[in-house]
Copies of this chain bind each other. A is one copy, B any other.
Amino acid sequence: MMSRFPRRLLLTGLACGVAAAPALAADDLPSWNAGPARQSIIEYVAEVTRADGPRFVPPAERIAVFDNDGTLWSEQPLYFQLAFALDRVKVLAPQHPEWNTQEPFASLLKGDVKAALAGGEHAIQEIVMATHAGMTTEAFAATVRAWITTARHPKTGRLYSEMVYQPMLELLAYLRANGFKTFIVSGGGVDFMRVFTEEVYGIPPEQVIGSSGKVNFEMRDGNPVLVKQPELAFFDDKAGKPVGIHQYIGRRPIAAFGNSDGDLQMLQWTCDTQQGRFCLYVHHTDAAREWAYDRESSIGRLDKGLDEAAAKGWTVVDMKADWKSIYPEAISPGN
């Protein structure tokens, strides 16, 4: 499986933090420009790892949670999982002649994504259920694997997994080297993300929390299978994020990283009144190298969160100013 991903993206997938690792090497975060954002990260990590310091945190409690879309990889012009779903609709269309006259599928199949998504949340749910249910968990994972290793982003021509943020890959590795256990807490589908998070981010499946559909256990020809159902089991967004953290992790993180109002409750839950916590928003300010959007965006809206970050002194990354590079430099050859 490893070999299907470009080697240069791979991180060592160590689930174990090495508490004794030397902190603060000058090149720990090489893609971060010197500035207040980088500085706040380095100071925080130094503080909680200094064994004789007043804010020392034992390694077992160094839980760091990361949103995915817009925080670890791009999310424009559409959430990448939605791009996967749209591609699946095209593949599955021959088996569904009724889609030719049924929205949102009819518009999609005519190539009019905008009209298809005009139905909002409901349309998206229809598309996701039609493409994410009715098969075993293993069949679904195989489908995602085939897509993520071949499909390319319309604007950049990169594999979607090559649109992860290089500075955030470095941050994940830096935290793990300092004894943190890194988790993803995303509104995205958990069965979708777990296919690639270990190889792309070094985060194993059991440290990925996301939205999920119901699955049923069945015996087929004497073999057990889990079958994905067209019914939501858990929606891991907004107030669902602290709930998901409680249900899956069972303890409060000490550091949280997001980019939108959908992450606000997760950051509130992490950085309540207690000292010694760290919260960070990635602010998309770079129209040239990535995208620039915040208060008015329908995808990844950052409005209330920006105000609360200012009021509470959370770190806000100015993507344009703080990041030397956006994506990993070397990418796989295009078609």
In this assembly, does A15 line the interface, its C-beta being within 8 Å of a C-beta of chain B? yes
Residues of B contacting A226 with CB < 8 Å?
A: 242-243, 246, 269
Quick one: CB contact mask for A198-232 with B, threshold 8 Å, 1 for yes?
Answer: 10000011111000100111010011101000000
Report Cα–Cα, A108/B224, bound state, in Å: 41
Number of copies: 2
Cross-chain contact A205 with B15 (CB below 8 angstroms)? no
Stretch of A21-29, A153-161, A248-256, A321-329 lying at the B interface = A248-256
Q: Which residue from B204, B224, B240 sits with its C-beta under 8 Å from A60?
A: B204
Chain A binding surface, main DSSP class = mixed
Interface size on A, residues (CB 8 A): 42
In this assembly, does A272 line the interface, its C-beta being within 8 Å of a C-beta of chain B? yes
Report Cα–Cα, A233/B60, bound state, in Å: 27
Report Cα–Cα, A254/B164, bound state, in Å: 31
Cross-chain contact B216 with A233 (CB below 8 angstroms)? no
Closest to A273 in B: B223
Cross-chain contact B217 with A265 (CB below 8 angstroms)? yes
Cross-chain contact A212 with B247 (CB below 8 angstroms)? yes
Cross-chain contact A194 with B272 (CB below 8 angstroms)? no
In this assembly, does A100 line the interface, its C-beta being within 8 Å of a C-beta of chain B? no
Report Cα–Cα, A251/B240, bound state, in Å: 23
